[in-house]
């Protein structure tokens, strides 16, 4: 079983520090919190550096095209405490964009480029936001549900 | 008139030293690298999109094509993620768990064999290459016996493994494990202890602990910089918690360490396989899973200690027979992004080695 962070305390601490920005996200994994897009960089820095949590490794950066929104999912992991946390950011369908966290982890660089390339989510402040897997002249973002593929 | 000029050199996409269809553009000052830029995507097959139109079971063979040097471990990561999504991790029969451990470690031997062999070739030591590939080929022969294919066995199933393995497999496996010990001595003699090899690799492309964590290193590359973190021991899955093994850690973070750590890991893999062979119980190899796999609405992220790093699957289910989203976390895709910084300021002949030391497989990088 995964070791999970005390989300209640964490969310309280984050809200106190950065103003109402985080809440517990109920899903089947019981390890997710939801963060407002414009606060993501501060929250990530805090999660990495706060000695009570030290979520110092980013395990995965994923994105899902739900019918109601785009969700960017960060899976974080602590080497010190061996616990895990999932951070979710919900974006509206029309203009999906959020700040880049390359300043927190350089590992996010290529992962954000991949999400941009395949899902069409813009990361503002990213140093080099270009397509990474597909050709530069490719039209569309294949992982979106409205993209039709012929296979 | 005499003048110096920066030279732009294109390496790849088809080049023996790039270990696949990978291209990088190097800016050279003489023979020293000023800047490197990665270009990937030549092998992109859209596996994540394909997964959305395949059932959960149908996707298992596709995972073989990720990191094609360790097909069985990829399948294992995927089926374990599906099992987590369905909530049946506890129901997998013991014998199947042991078989999975044995096969995953066997595959690790094969994958590290490729790394060591091709690394030897990249330092222009063709002899080492042949010695290491001798054992690696025997590993592949065993995998052929398991799944009928050398690289794409398609053997793991959601709920267990495809079929039980007979006595003859274990006899041959034991034979192979016994021959690994003298083989390690040969590898060490040919490469690790070789003075030319050491002078090519020691102290070159040193990665610090901070840089490794920043760039999201994991697996052997992270352990080579002194971070003691192995999922098999720290977040045990299957029956790894019953196995006695050490997690090798080195502290310099240079090319030599990244080579040596894999050699040491192979020794531990042999140790694990020998124990598992002794302890494996009799019994069924498949849990009772429904014919049509329909995980409940929800999501799961699971990762295992693959040969190259942590291979993870983020699966989202909408309750139907096909995944709503299947995100593959490929370790080498992330680690490759550190190549420009690792290569900066090094000699061009070392850049080839640095690239090899990350242990990239383009099937996984491009998906």
The pLDDT of residue B78: 92
pLDDT beyond 80 at B16: no
Interface membership of B41 toward A (CB under 8 Å) = yes
Q: Are A62 and B325 in contact (CB < 8 Å)?
A: yes
Question: Quick one: pLDDT at residue B316?
Answer: 92
Contacts of A127 in chain B (CB under 8 A): none
Q: Could you tell me what percent of chain A has a pLDDT over 90? A: 15
Residue to substitute from B39, B230, B306, B327, interface A, most A β-carbons within 10 A: B327
Q: What is the pLDDT of residues B180-193, one digit of tens each?
A: 889 998 888 888 88
Shortest CA distance from B46: residue in chain A: A142
Nearest to B327 among A62, A109, A151 (CB): A62
Three-state secondary structure call for residue B121: helix
Predicted confidence at residue B348, as pLDDT, reads 87
φ/ψ of A9, rounded to 5, equals -65, -40
Across chain B, where does the E strand assignment appear? Answer: 7-11, 23-29, 32-39, 156-157, 160-161, 298-305, 310-317, 323-329
Residue B19 contacts A, CB cutoff 8 Å: no
Neighbouring residues of B67: CB distance < 8 A, sequence distance ≥ 6: B73, B74, B111, B306, B307, B308, B311, B330, B332, B361, B363, B364
Contact between chains at B366 and A106 (C-beta distance less than 8 A): no
Chain B interface, best mutation among A103, A133, A146, by max B CB count within 10 A: A133
Decide if B123 contacts B353 (C-beta within 8 A): yes
Please give, rounded to a whole number of angstroms, the shortest distance from the CA of A58 to a CA of chain B.
6
Number of domains in chain B: 1
Q: What is the pLDDT of residues B113-157, one digit of tens each?
A: 999 988 888 887 788 888 888 889 999 999 998 888 888 988 999
> Where residue B63 sits, what CATH number does that domain have?
1.10.645.10
Residue B105 has pLDDT above 70, yes or no: yes
Quick: pLDDT tens for B52-102.
Answer: 889 999 999 999 988 888 889 999 999 999 999 888 888 889 999 999 999
Using the 8-state DSSP alphabet, how is residue B150 labeled? S
Q: What average pLDDT does the segment B236-253 reach? A: 89
On whether the CB atoms of residues B5 and B14 are closer than 8 A, the answer is no
Q: What residue ranges in A28-146 does DSSP mark as E strands?
A: 32-35, 57-65, 70-77, 83-91, 97-99, 122-124
Instruction: Give residue ranges of A with CB < 8 Å to any B CB.
Output: 2, 27-29, 56-60, 62-65, 73, 75, 79, 82, 86, 105-111, 114, 118, 131-135, 142-143, 147, 149, 151
Residue span of the structural domain in which B130 resides: 45-366
Question: Quick check: A27 and B300 CB within 8 A?
Answer: no
Q: What single string gives the DSSP state of each residue in B254-281?
A: SHHHHHHHHHHHHHHHHHHHHHHHHHPP
Q: Is residue B261 part of a domain?
A: yes
Return mean pLDDT, chain B. 89
Q: Which residue of B has its CA nearest to A81?
A: B234
Residues in chain A within 8 Å Cβ distance of B303 = 59-60
In the numeric block, the tokens 């992270």 are attached to B222
> Confidence band (pLDDT; 50, 70, 90) for B324?
very high
Q: Buried (b) or exposed (e) across B245-273, using 16+ Cβ within 10 A?
A: bebbbbebbbbbbbbbbbbbbbebbbbbb
Q: Rounded to whole angstroms, how far apart are CA atoms B69 and B152?
A: 9
Domain membership flag for residue B6: no
Q: What are the structural domain ranges in chain A?
A: 3-94
Closest to B138 (Cα-Cα) out of B190, B105, B173: B173
Residue position matching structure tokens 């590992």 = A107
Name the closest residue on chain A to residue B314, using Cα atoms.
Answer: A62
State the nearest Cα–Cα gap between B177 and chain A, in angstroms. Answer: 32
Closest-CA distance of chain B to residue A151, Å? 8
Interface subset of B 302-361, CB within 8 angstroms of A:
303, 310, 312, 314, 316, 324-325, 327, 329, 333-334, 336-338
- The mean per-residue pLDDT over the stretch B246-256 comes to 90
User: Is pLDDT of A78 > 60?
Assistant: yes
Q: Any chain A CB within 8 A of the CB of B214? A: yes
Pairing of strands A83-91, A3-4: parallel
How many whole angstroms separate alpha carbon B301 and alpha carbon B154? 22
CB B12 within 8 A of CB B24: yes
pLDDT digits (tens, 9 = 90+) for A30-75: 888 888 888 888 888 888 888 888 888 888 899 999 988 899 999 9
Cβ separation B312–A60 shorter than 8 A: yes
Domain A3-94 has CATH 3.20.20.70: no
A86 pLDDT more than 80? yes
């Amino acid at each position: 079983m995964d070791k999970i962070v005390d989300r209640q305390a964490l969310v309280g601490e984050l809200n106190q520090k950065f103003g109402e920005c985080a809440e517990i996200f109920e899903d089947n994994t019981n390890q997710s919190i939801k963060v407002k897009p414009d606060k993501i960089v501060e929250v990530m820095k805090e999660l990495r550096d706060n000695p009570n949590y030290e979520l110092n490794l980013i395990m995965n950066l994923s994105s899902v095209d739900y019918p109601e929104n785009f969700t960017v999912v960060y899976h974080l992991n602590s080497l010190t405490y061996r616990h895990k946390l999932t951070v979710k950011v919900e974006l509206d369908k029309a203009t999906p964009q959020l700040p880049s966290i390359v300043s927190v982890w350089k590992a996010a660089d290529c992962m954000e480029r991949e999400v941009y390339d395949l899902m069409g989510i813009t990361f503002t402040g990213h140093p080099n936001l270009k397509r990474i897997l597909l050709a530069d002249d490719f039209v569309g973002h294949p992982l979106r549900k409205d993209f039709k593929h012929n296979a | 008139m005499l003048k110096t000029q920066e030279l732009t050199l294109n390496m790849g996409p088809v080049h023996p030293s790039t270990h696949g269809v990978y291209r990088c553009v190097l800016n050279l000052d003489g023979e020293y690298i000023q800047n490197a830029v990665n270009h990937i995507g030549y092998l992109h097959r859209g596996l994540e999109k394909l997964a959305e139109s395949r059932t959960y079971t149908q996707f298992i063979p596709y995972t073989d094509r990720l990191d094609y040097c360790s097909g069985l471990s990829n399948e294992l990561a995927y089926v374990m993620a599906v099992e987590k999504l369905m909530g049946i991790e506890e129901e997998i029969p013991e014998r199947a768990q042991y078989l999975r451990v044995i096969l995953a470690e066997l595959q690790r031997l094969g994958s590290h064999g490729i790394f060591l062999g091709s690394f030897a070739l990249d330092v222009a030591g063709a002899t080492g290459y042949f010695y290491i590939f001798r054992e690696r080929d025997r590993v592949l022969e065993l995998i052929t016996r398991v799944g009928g294919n050398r690289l794409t066995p398609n053997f793991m199933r959601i709920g267990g493994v495809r079929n039980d393995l007979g006595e003859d497999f274990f006899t041959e496996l034991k034979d192979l494990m016994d021959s690994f010990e003298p083989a390690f001595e040969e590898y060490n003699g040919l490469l690790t202890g070789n003075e030319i090899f050491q002078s090519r690799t020691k102290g070159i492309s040193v990665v610090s602990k901070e840089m490794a964590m920043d760039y999201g290193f994991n697996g052997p590359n992270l352990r080579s910089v002194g971070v003691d973190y192995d999922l098999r021991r720290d977040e045990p899955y299957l029956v790894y918690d019953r196995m006695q093994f050490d997690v090798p850690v080195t502290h310099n973070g240079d090319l030599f360490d990244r080579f040596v750590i894999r050699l040491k890991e192979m020794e531990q893999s042999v140790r694990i396989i020998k124990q598992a062979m002794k302890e494996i119980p009799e019994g069924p190899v498949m849990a009772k899973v429904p014919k049509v796999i329909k995980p409940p609405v929800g999501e799961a992220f699971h990762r295992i200690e693959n040969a190259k790093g942590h291979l993870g699957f983020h699966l989202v289910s909408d309750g139907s027979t096909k995944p709503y989203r299947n995100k593959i976390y490929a370790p080498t895709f992330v680690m490759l992004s550190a190549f420009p910084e690792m290569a900066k300021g090094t000699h061009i002949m070392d850049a080839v080695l640095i690239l090899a030391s990350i242990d990239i497989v383009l099937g996984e990088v491009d998906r």
